[in-house]
Amino acid sequence: MIETERLLLRPLSLDDVDAMAPMYADAEVMTFLGGVKTRHEAAERIKLIMSLFAEQGFGLFGVVEKSSGSLLGRAGLIVQQVEGAREVELAYGLKRQAWGQGYATEAVAAAREWGFRRLPEPRFVSLVHAANLRSVRVAERLGARHNREVDYQGQRVRLYVHERP
């Protein structure tokens, strides 16, 4: 688990499906995250997140607001193939009611710090659609450097680099 001033990042479980399904069903939230998912598809995503975490020793955490105990979404590290190269991405997705409160920046910063302490990676990346202005701002607030545009899953996205301190 990872704790920040306002958040607790903890492994996801199947008990989280009911809390996460509304995020996956929200078209606005899912605009840049692969599109709307049914409850069943959300459960399958959570199972995948859990299995990858168990297999790799890292992955996406559930993001819990400490003051309310509410599960706001997910954030952490995932392995991606970007133009034939292995990259570890700092990724997140939060429910719309959590937007605009600094939770994404706080969660991603905590996951980045955790990752650099535990993994040998020289850097992490963020893959951000140019139109996703909120995520562009999160990457920039965290000091990530826009490196280049890349093809990722059939779309052109910005690759931001988070260098190891």
| 154 or 81: which leads in pLDDT | 81
52-82 CB burial, b ≥16 within 10 A, e <16: bbeeeebbbbbbbeeeeeebbbbbbbbebeb
In the predicted model, what is the mean pLDDT of residues 123-132? 94
CATH (residue range 2-163): 3.40.630.30
Question: 63-109 pLDDT, tens per residue?
Answer: 999 999 999 999 999 999 999 999 999 999 999 999 999 999 999 99
| Burial (Cβ within 10 Å: 0-12, 13-18, ≥19) of residue 33 | middle
Q: What is the pTM of this model?
A: 0.93
Question: 15-53 pLDDT, tens per residue?
Answer: 999 999 999 998 888 887 788 899 999 999 999 999 999
Q: How far, in Å, CA of 52 to CA of 58, rounded?
A: 8
Question: 144-153 pLDDT, tens per residue?
Answer: 999 999 988 8
Neighbouring C-beta atoms of residue 83, cutoff 10 Å: 10
Those residues whose C-beta lies under 8 Å from the C-beta of residue 67, and which sit 6 or more positions away, are 6
pLDDT(131) > 90: no
Reduced to 3 states, what is the DSSP secondary structure of residue 11?
strand
pLDDT (0 to 100) of residue 154? 85
Residue-range domain boundaries for the chain = 2-163
